[in-house]
Structure 1
Amino acid sequence: MDYFLIWLSVSYSVILYSPLIAAQQFEYRSHICTNDSTYTANSSYPSNLNATLSSLYENASRSDDFGSISVGQNSDRVSALFLCRGDNSSESCRGCIKTAREEIKIRCSNYKEAIIWYDRCMLRYSNRSIFSLRDEWPRAWLGNKNDIGNDIDQNQFNSNLVGLMFQLISRASICLSGRVSEIPSYCSGKLGCNVLTPSCSMRFETYPFYTAPPPPASSPSPTTPPPTSLNPSGERKASSRTILYISVPTSAFVVLFFSICYYCYVHKKAKKENSAMKGGNGIENMERNLSNI
């Protein structure tokens, strides 16, 4: 159906995104206080947790989408990370992480491991290593409160949805493909759905809930060389560099030509003088011989 669109978003922790939208109010989605391990107030874990969450917020101030940090040693070590949605601005990401770090301590007080999702970010901490791992648990499913209804073709809806999802699978690979396979079980018959896990999240709606990226900047037009000026007769004037290239060899040729001419002139004159001197001596000898006769 031409009038029908499905709007889709995906966040994946190994993909870097460009910030696109301004900060706005953050919609809480879900949270899970994982494992049964808790900490006591007199241990080092709560202070390490506070330091970790504060550092995450500072990282969000310098980054646009993803950050991670660990604080402490051994059993009191806290590892934490955040992931902001791809169309967030820096301000939006920072504000969402600030809200999440405050809320997760309230909702999961004394837990050593927890995760919280907002519409625009996810924050997670644990007493174990959670970096460079593909975690698909715990997860949450949030279906749109509205069903598809009779005014929309269910088959057309599913066809459009499958096409969009498999386009994303090629980009987000294993984590997202697992979330797509769960749509029939947890999102069937819903106009929208949000599937949340620590490593990736997927959402589709029938309305635009994200801001489209700006159009790519146009490449600068190639610079053209300055036009060659014309003299009054309409002929192109040669540049000063061209004139220099022409005048230097021409001047050298003129100097060489006159030097050769001067050499020939001097040499020829010297020969004439020598010939005259030889001729004068011959006349004197002839006169001497005649007088002797």
Structure 2
Amino acid sequence: MYSSFSVSKRLILVPILVMVAQVLLMRSVSSLNMNNAYVEHKCSANQGEYKPGSHYKKVLDSGIQELSKDKEAFRGGFVYMDHTDIKEVRFEPERVYITFQCRGDIYGPQCRSCFATARPELFKRCPRDKGAIIWYDHCLLEFSSISTSGKINYDDNFCIDTARARPNAKTHTRDEVLEFLTLFDNLTNIAVTKRNNFVKDVDKPALYAAGEKRFGNKKIYAMVQCTKDLTPKACVECVSHNVIQFQNCYENKPVGLKIGARVFGRSCNFRFERYPFVNAKTSPNYLKF
């Protein structure tokens, strides 16, 4: 027989455990939505290396420092910087080209936080390289000795099959693959025609769109983004190229579409999953198809 003291302890313990479980669940969902995991990096060996204390290193450091103080870059989520140091008249002018962009739903402090994470990590992973790029969930950062503005870079593209860890997961039918391609076509068209209402005084297209679409009894969440140094025409070209190039990454031939994939690049990227991965409330041009 249980004592009244033992029963009362159990009655108190049950609601406490329920509360703890709810808190842990909320934290888990929050961490999923706010996660800014490292994805990949590439060091550009063909651009050569700089020496410690060299003029190039000084120009690179001053450019990165200048960018870290640029509030507009983090407010709007993008900057392309052509940087040199005119004070160093003893040397032939060195130029560093820096590109930084946050994911379309990331602004302000969260965007700045991604830059603060990416900056030291890129220097650590690509020490002395004159050109390098790093991707995180929330942003990309690139520096280069070669001007990249407005140019589509296909060399640094890669795909991550997010279903690899779940080999027994069900795929979609062939008809749903066609619907998926139509979805990305629609998102790309929206990205290159609609502006970002979250950023004032910017009349250019957002070059970003995200949304969700029901496939039978399932739902797909998707996103398309290009770097803002591209024209709308170049953005369409970049996304279309990657959709074709990485078909084997997101398709399970002959069955159909995989349940998730991510294609990254310097110039554009796209992603689809069976779960939400962007913030719909802060995403410009978020649509439910």
Q: TM-score, normalised by structure 2?
A: 0.60
Larger proportion of helix: 1
| Within-5 A mapping of 1:125-140 | 125-140=143-158
**Residue 26 (structure 1) aligns with:** 36
1:101 alignment partner, SS class: helix
CA distance in 2, matches of 1:60, 1:183: 36
Do structure 1's residue 175 and structure 2's residue 241 form an aligned pair?
Answer: no
- Contact 1:75-1:127 at 8 Å conserved across structures: no
- Contact 2:104-2:283 at 8 Å conserved across structures: no
Do structure 1's residue 197 and structure 2's residue 265 form an aligned pair?
Answer: yes
Q: TM-score, normalised by structure 1?
A: 0.60
- Contact 2:169-2:259 at 8 Å conserved across structures: no
- Contact 2:170-2:259 at 8 Å conserved across structures: no
CA distance in 2, matches of 1:43, 1:116: 23
Counterpart among 154, 170, 174 of residue 173 in structure 2: 154
1:124 alignment partner, SS class: strand
Tell me the amino acid that sits aligned with residue 65 of structure 2: S
- Contact 2:35-2:137 at 8 Å conserved across structures: no
CA distance in 1, matches of 2:283, 2:271: 23
**Shift in Å, 1:61:** 5.8
Identity of aligned residues (%): 28
- Contact 2:172-2:259 at 8 Å conserved across structures: no
**Shift in Å, 1:84:** 0.8
CA distance in 2, matches of 1:152, 1:99: 35
- Contact 1:61-1:94 at 8 Å conserved across structures: no
**Residue 65 (structure 1) aligns with:** 77
Counterpart among 152, 155, 159 of residue 141 in structure 1: 159
Which structure's CA Rg is the greater one? 1
Do structure 1's residue 48 and structure 2's residue 81 form an aligned pair?
Answer: no
The structure-2 alpha-carbon separation of the partners of 1:160 and 1:57, relative to structure 1 and needing over 3 Å to count, comes to farther
Counterpart among 142, 155, 162 of residue 124 in structure 1: 142
**Residue 277 (structure 1) aligns with:** none
Count, aligned residues: 194
**Shift in Å, 1:48:** 1.4
CA distance in 1, matches of 2:244, 2:53: 45
- Contact 2:43-2:133 at 8 Å conserved across structures: yes
**Shift in Å, 1:152:** 4.2
Note the aligned Cα RMSD (angstroms). Answer: 2.5
1:246-293 C-alpha deviation (Å, 9 max, x unpaired): xxxxxxxxxxxxxxxxxxxxxxxxxxxxxxxxxxxxxxxxxxxxxxxx
2:154 alignment partner, SS class: coil
**Shift in Å, 1:138:** 1.5
- Contact 2:159-2:246 at 8 Å conserved across structures: no
The structure-2 alpha-carbon separation of the partners of 1:142 and 1:135, relative to structure 1 and needing over 3 Å to count, comes to same
CA distance in 2, matches of 1:181, 1:215: 26
- Contact 1:56-1:68 at 8 Å conserved across structures: no
Tell me the amino acid that sits aligned with residue 165 of structure 1: F
Do structure 1's residue 166 and structure 2's residue 199 form an aligned pair?
Answer: no
**Residue 113 (structure 2) aligns with:** 95
**Shift in Å, 1:139:** 1.6
1:31 alignment partner, SS class: strand
1:139-191 C-alpha deviation (Å, 9 max, x unpaired): 22111034574644332542332121111332341111111112323333332
CA distance in 2, matches of 1:182, 1:91: 35
**Shift in Å, 1:100:** 0.8
1:76 alignment partner, SS class: coil
